[in-house]
């Protein structure tokens, strides 16, 4: 089996009395999409912040491309090819869409002209081609999600962490963006996505880790995860799995 590109090893994060992440471990295999799911407050975003250097783990380590990267600052990790999007979109509101993406493109390009040209290409690839010269603040939620994606892609990452890029989108918008994500993976970028929308997870991810109360509860293919009683209980409460089975039997 191929070595994982990202290996999160027994990472814990404590905020005062709260253990937000508790000995969590997971891996992301190169060129694949790995999903991280779990109820609100499970520690998914905190884990992303730790992987990308915005927060330090209280314990554990992060191994990327065979190297221990624990505690490296975000800008260094970006230079190593680790990109992320933010759950709450963080556009540079005063800039145009193209200028937003160019900030990412500048990582490998000193020249302003080159960066702006590359930004245009990336923008078109994620479907923002007609809005490149609009101010970022004029974008809709769906547009902002695409922008978030485009900026991260512009640094030409090897590993891309997507924090709920589908949240807040309507079904038709989700249908539009899923192929974009699949195309990125097709381009060889390894992805880890935090996602609540299970339909999309089923379509995109090859491997799913379920996080609950800071711990990894289950791991497996999306189809296995969806019927795993422990996972259903984590989302819907104790006994939900058996009730669902019963209900399913009635309808079947």
Partner 1 sequence: MPILAVVGLLAAVPLITSSNVTLNFMVMALLIALVGQGWNLLGGFGGQYSFGHAAFFGTGAYVTAILQMRYGVNAWLGFVIGVAAGALFGAITGLLSFRSGLKGSYFALITLAFAEVLRIVASVTPITGAGVGTLVILDLRPEAFQFQSRAPFYWIILALVGVSLVLTRMIEHSRFGAYLVAVRENEDAARALGVDATMIKLGAMTVSAAMTAAGGCFYTQYFLFIDANIAYGPWISIEALLAPIIGGIGTVFGPLLGALLVKTLGELAKLVTGGAPGLDLVIYGGVLVAVVAFAPRGMAGIFVDLRRLLRKAQERGDG
Q: Which is nearer to partner 1, 21 or 116 (CB)?
A: 116
| 58-83 as b/e: b if 16+ CB within 10 A | eebebbbbeeebbebeeeebbeebbb
Q: Which is nearer to partner 1, 42 or 155 (CB)?
A: 155
Q: Read off the tokens for 156.
A: 């030409």
Q: Which is nearer to partner 1, 7 or 109 (CB)?
A: 109
CB of 138 to partner 1, least distance (A): 14
CB of 83 to partner 1, least distance (A): 7
- Which of 55, 73, 68, 52 shows the shortest CA–CA distance to 12? 55
- In this structure, are residues 21 and 11 in contact, taking their beta carbons and an 8 Å threshold? yes
Q: Which residues bind partner 1 (CB under 8 A)?
A: 52, 54, 73-75, 78-79, 83-84, 86, 90-95, 99, 102-104, 106-107, 109-112, 115, 151-152, 154-155
CB of 155 to partner 1, least distance (A): 6
- In this structure, are residues 165 and 178 in contact, taking their beta carbons and an 8 Å threshold? no
Q: Edge-to-edge, what's the strand order for the sheet holding 82-84?
A: 82-84, 159-163, 190-194, 33-37, 207-212, 215-220
CB of 222 to partner 1, least distance (A): 28
- Which of 78, 137, 139, 134 shows the shortest CA–CA distance to 103? 78
Q: Which is nearer to partner 1, 112 or 175 (CB)?
A: 112
Q: Read off the tokens for 40.
A: 């609100």
CA distances from 42 to 132, 145, 194, 210 (A): 36, 22, 11, 9
- Point out which residues pair with 191 in neighbouring strands: 33, 160
What is the Cβ-side half-sphere exposure of residue 103, based on CA atoms within 13 angstroms? 17
CB of 137 to partner 1, least distance (A): 10
Q: Which is nearer to partner 1, 65 or 95 (CB)?
A: 95
CB of 103 to partner 1, least distance (A): 4
Q: Which is nearer to partner 1, 122 or 241 (CB)?
A: 122
């Amino acid at each position: 089996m191929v070595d994982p590109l990202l290996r999160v090893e027994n990472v814990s994060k404590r905020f005062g009395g709260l253990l937000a992440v508790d000995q969590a471990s997971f891996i992301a295999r190169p060129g694949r999409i790995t999903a991280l799911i779990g109820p609100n407050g499970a520690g998914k975003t905190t884990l992303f912040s730790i992987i990308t250097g915005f927060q330090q783990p209280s314990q554990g380590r992060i191994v990327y491309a065979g190297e221990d990267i624990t505690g490296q600052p975000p800008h260094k990790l970006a230079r190593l090819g680790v990109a992320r999007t933010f759950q709450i979109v963080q556009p540079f509101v005063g800039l145009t869409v193209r200028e937003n993406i160019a900030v990412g493109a500048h990582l490998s390009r000193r020249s302003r002209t080159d960066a702006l040209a590359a930004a245009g290409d990336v923008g078109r690839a994620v479907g923002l081609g007609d809005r490149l010269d609009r101010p970022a603040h004029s974008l809709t939620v769906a547009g902002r999600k695409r922008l978030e994606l485009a900026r991260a892609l512009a640094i030409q990452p090897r590993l891309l962490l997507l924090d709920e890029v589908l949240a807040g989108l309507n079904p038709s918008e989700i249908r539009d963006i899923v192929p974009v994500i699949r195309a990125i993976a097709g381009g060889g970028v390894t992805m880890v996505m935090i996602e609540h929308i299970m339909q999309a997870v089923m379509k995109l991810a090859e491997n799913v880790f379920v996080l609950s109360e800071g711990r990894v509860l289950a791991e497996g293919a999306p189809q296995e995860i969806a019927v795993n009683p422990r996972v259903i209980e984590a989302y819907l409460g104790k006994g939900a799995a058996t009730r669902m089975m019963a209900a399913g039997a009635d309808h079947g």
